Amino acid sequence: MKMKAVYLEKIKHFETKEIEIPEPGPEEVLIKVKMVGICGSDVHYFENGRIGEFVVNKPLILGHEAAGEIVKVGKKVKNLKPGDRVAMEPGIPCRKCRYCKSGRYNLCPEVKFWATPPIDGVFTEYTVHPADFCFKIPKNVSFEEGAMFEPLSVGLWATEQVDLKPEKKIAILGVGTIGMMTLISSIANGATNITVFDISPYKLEKSEEIGAKEAVLVDSKEKFEKYYGQFDIVFEAAGNESTISQIPYLLTKGGEGVLIGLPSKDDVSLNINMLISKEAKIKTVFRYANMYPRAVELAASGKIKLKSLITKYYNLNQLQEAFEYVINNREKVIKVMIKI
Ligand SMILES: [Zn+2]
Ligand SMILES: [Zn+2]
């Protein structure tokens, strides 16, 4: 039996191929993929063919934010059955190394993460996946919301790193998908006083709808100065050298900064004397660990609104068009969904 799979053949060019539908192993399930979100990293591979040391040097299937329906289960699978709707956690760690054993499996050096070369993603009709990395989607939650558990997990993991309290003042620098997810996660964790910063008026407006108390349009560096020394917690989700450099200034004494976004250059300057004199902390996050169960519960509660972040839908055969749309509309695109 064959299925369609869309490959990034070369930079900025997709090609659809017919490939064999995979068979699930004893502890795996076969999933009919239903919805896949386009992530910033997918767009980066599409445009540049690489992210840092990860280089696309043979055709690669992109897509890692996915949900679907189980069609077949391996012999040893007990928690899932055909017909179950699931969100798939895209990174499979080795389960054996010291990081895996200590629960920090996001740091596993052997992790196989969808759509990170050489591991294929899921812009395909079917995929196999370990059963324990598939999470049942609650009845009141759609496939597209299930697909968004992936970026939501990043936001939840970022908020897991800090001491969130309702009275704390929080800043989120950059409200693309990950910044939005950090906003949603902060609110879900009890934050009430959140200021967001971005260059896109559209995204700022969206974040106010979601619950940001204040939204600041950053049209010059001076826009930050008014806020110096004000924030207990600063999340950097823009991945931008100049916003990262703002963190020491924006923090209060004893504050916490969290780096989520990846800057395009490796060495970024930070005012270390200021960080020390403020006894401020800088933390980093890399993907997430054990956040899918939390995403499931939050979505089931109906308290978080993921659907309003979806800008547009395309079909799998329009993947080329969908990626070009994202590239040409960065200011107003939050999440583009692909219906499979
Ligand atoms: Zn992603
Ligand atoms: Zn490992």
**All domains of the chain in start order, with CATH:** 2-148+306-339 (3.90.180.10), 155-284 (3.40.50.720)
| Confidence at 264, pLDDT banded by 50, 70, 90 | confident
CA–CA separation, 337 vs 322, rounded Å?
9
DSSP E strands, 176-268: 193-198, 214-217, 231-236, 251-259
Structure tokens at 57: 């040097």
Q: What is the pLDDT of residue 41?
A: 94
CA of 39 to the centre of ligand 1 (A): 4
| CA nearest to 234, candidates 197, 204, 270, 199 | 197
| Confidence at 130, pLDDT banded by 50, 70, 90 | very high
CA of 149 to the centre of ligand 1 (A): 10
Is residue 151 reached through a cis peptide bond, with omega within 30 degrees of 0 on the bond before it? no
Q: What is the pLDDT of residue 297?
A: 96
Structure tokens at 161: 């790193």
Q: Give 83: exposed, middle or buried? Use CB within 10 Å, 0-12, 13-18, 19+.
A: exposed
Return residues with CB closer than 5 A to ligand 1 (ion).
Answer: 39
Return residues with CB closer than 5 A to ligand 2 (ion).
Answer: 93-94, 97, 100, 108
Q: What is the pLDDT of residue 99?
A: 98
Q: Which residues, in sequence order, are CB contacts of 60 under 8 Å at separation 6+? A: 7, 8, 45, 115, 117, 118, 120, 121
Greater confidence, 251 or 265? Answer: 251
What share of residues in the chain are helix, strand, coil (percent, to 5)?
30, 30, 40
In whole angstroms, how far apart are CA 215 and each of 174, 212, 280, 298?
11, 7, 24, 24
Quick one: average pLDDT of 288-317?
A: 95
pLDDT > 90? residue 305: no
Q: What is the pLDDT of residue 135?
A: 98
pLDDT > 90? residue 52: no
Quick one: average pLDDT of 14-36?
A: 98
Quick one: average pLDDT of 59-83?
A: 97
Q: What is the pLDDT of residue 212?
A: 97
CA of 186 to the centre of ligand 2 (A): 29
Give the other-Cβ count within 10 Å of 149's Cβ: 30
Q: Which percentage of the chain shows pLDDT scores above 70? A: 100
Q: Cβ(148)–Cβ(102) under 8 Å? A: no
CA of 113 to the centre of ligand 2 (A): 12
Q: Cβ(203)–Cβ(215) under 8 Å? A: no
Q: What is the pLDDT of residue 188?
A: 95
13 beta partners: 10
CA–CA separation, 152 vs 50, rounded Å?
24
pLDDT tens for 139-189 read 999 999 999 999 999 999 999 999 999 999 999 999 999 999 999 999 999
Mean pLDDT of the chain: 96
CA–CA separation, 35 vs 37, rounded Å?
7
Q: What is the pLDDT of residue 265?
A: 87
- DSSP 8-class letter at 15: E
Q: Side chain identity at 300, as an amino acid letter?
A: A
Ligand nearest to the CA of 62: 1
pLDDT > 90? residue 303: no
Quick one: average pLDDT of 264-275?
A: 94
| CB burial readout 222-255, b (16+ within 10 A) else e | eebeebeeebbbbbbbbbbeebbbbbbbbbbeeb
Structure tokens at 124: 């395909």
Q: What is the pLDDT of residue 300?
A: 94
Q: Which residues, in sequence order, are CB contacts of 101 under 8 Å at separation 6+? A: none
Quick one: average pLDDT of 87-114?
A: 97
